[in-house]
Amino acid sequence: MKRVIPCLDVAAGRVVKGRSFVALRDVGDPVALAARYEAEGADEIVLLDITATIEGRGALLDVVRRAAERLSVPLTVGGGVRGADDVATLLRAGADKVSVNSALHFSPALLGEAAARFGAQCIVASLDARASSSGWEIVIHGGRTPTGRDAVAWAEECARRGAGEILLTSVDRDGRGTGYDLALVDAVARAVPVPVVASGGAGAPEHLAAALRAGADAALVAGMLHDGGFTISDLKAAVARAGLPVRETQATVAPASGGTA
């Protein structure tokens, strides 16, 4: 089955959304939104503490615990992971999978250590990529720092070192609603033997089907849900109409408002 996964970018305990990782605006409470999207039929929830690494701290464990208590679908959590012990902390707090991004560039062995301790199925390598003259370059620290690493080659290395899934975000497309970077999705999906989650750029239901046809196993969505224009049911219906297998939902919940909890 192809998966539709809402992404909750969290800063200071609130869900935020911007464009290309900047110009962030508040869109609601993470626990309320996570519960709402599960009720609508989300296959998983991704919760990313987007300022944890920049601020040199761990992820907001209270938010993780409260979200895990409300959810029955898998919860992926990322932000501020610097070592395998941080992975353990997030798993104990209720995460089903842990996403690692910036730390991998300073300690690539973290993937192998974490996979050996907890299983590759719960280790997600998060890759933020910008278009470059030769393809795509990996950037870290919330898109602020270029690394010189080729995105496709880095995805291959992450999978080889133990990542069980690749979360692939196009920084150029993030928040713009123009569709995923299909060439990037195709290149990475062809290069790695593990599932690829496409992220960055969804603005219409047909964008998800296009990314899934390009080789993604799942499509991450944020703004088009947060703004209330579409529901999970709308997105899954479009994927199903495109002839792709997706877990059906009969949810008829009204568009999310962001909550006040």
- Mean pLDDT across the stretch 185-189? 98
Per-residue confidence band for 60, with pLDDT thresholds at 50, 70 and 90: confident
Angle at 9 between CA 37 and CA 177, to 5 degrees: 80
Which DSSP symbol is given to 51?
Answer: T
pLDDT at position 25 over 60: yes
| Structure confidence at residue 152 (pLDDT) | 98
User: Could you confirm whether 26 is annotated as catalytic?
Assistant: no
Q: Indicate the helix (H) or strand (E) that contains 198.
A: strand 196-199
For the segment 197-250, what is each residue's pLDDT rounded down to a tens digit? 999 999 999 999 999 999 999 999 998 998 888 999 999 999 999 999 999 875
Residue pair 20/171 in contact (Cβ under 8 Å)? The answer is: yes
Give the N- to C-terminal CA distance of the chain in Å, as an integer.
33
Domain ranges of the chain: 3-241
pLDDT at position 260 over 80: no
- pTM here is 0.90
Residue 121, number of CB atoms within 10 A of its CB? 12
| Structure confidence at residue 22 (pLDDT) | 55
pLDDT at position 53 over 70: no
142: region left, alpha or beta (phi > 0 left; psi from -120 to 50 alpha): left
pLDDT at position 252 over 50: no
| Separation between Cα atoms, residue 212 and residue 91, nearest integer Å | 28
- Mean pLDDT across the stretch 74-96? 95
pLDDT at position 253 over 60: no
The topology (CATH level 3) of 3-241 is TIM Barrel (3.20.20)
Choose, from 43, 128, 174, 181, the residue flagged as catalytic: 128
For the segment 1-24, what is each residue's pLDDT rounded down to a tens digit? 999 999 999 988 889 876 655 556
Q: Indicate the helix (H) or strand (E) that contains 62.
A: helix 61-70
pLDDT at position 170 over 60: yes
- 12 SS3 class: coil
Query: Which residues touch 63 (CB under 8 Å, ≥6 apart)?
Result: 10, 13, 30, 31, 47, 49
User: Could you confirm whether 128 is annotated as catalytic?
Assistant: yes
